Structure formats: C-alpha cells, structure tokens
Amino acid sequence: MSQAAVKDQIKDFLHRHLRGAKIRDADDIFLMGLVNSMFAMQLVDFTEKQFGIEIDADDLHLGNFRSVDALSALVERKSAGAAEGA
C-alpha cells in the first residue's frame, strides 16, 4: 500500500473521530488538544487492525502517534519489517 493511501486512511479515521477537524499531515494532534491518551489507545487499535501490523511496547511512544506523518512512517516501518520476516 502506498504511503499516500496509508495517510488517507489515517486522516479518514481522524476526521470521523475528531468531529471533522481539519488536520494537516504534520499537525501534532496532541499539542492541538484534539486527542487524549484514551483516544491514543483507539488509534493504536485502529492502526493494528487497519494495516495488519502489531504495535509492540517499543512502539508505544507519543512520537509515533503525534501526526499523520509520524503514524504513516510507523506503519511503513512495521509493514516493511513484517514483509522481511515473511
């Protein structure tokens, strides 16, 4: 899946859950006050299910979930790692 497609799916999820807030790819959704730690867990769950990856304890730092860019980079890294292990 292309990085643009991953970003589109992440943005769709965020728009549905954040009342249609306009979010650019590099916007820090935590700093903007749009999400909290409870929503972060929903974001982890969405990411695992939507992209078929496993988020490990080492991945659970805020930097991976702050923005569309950061989350899509995590998906790309995890997907590449899964493909190498296959």
- What's the confidence (pLDDT) of residue 55? 96
Tens digit of each residue's pLDDT (9 = 90 or more) over 9-56: 999 999 999 887 889 999 999 999 998 888 989 999 999 999 999 999
- Domains parsed from the chain with CATH numbers: 3-85 (1.10.1200.10)
R_g of the chain, CA atoms, integer Å: 12
Residue that has been written with the tokens 């009342």 in this structure: 19
pLDDT exceeds 90 at position 66? yes
> Of 15, 8, 6, 17, which is closest to residue 51 (Cα–Cα)?
6
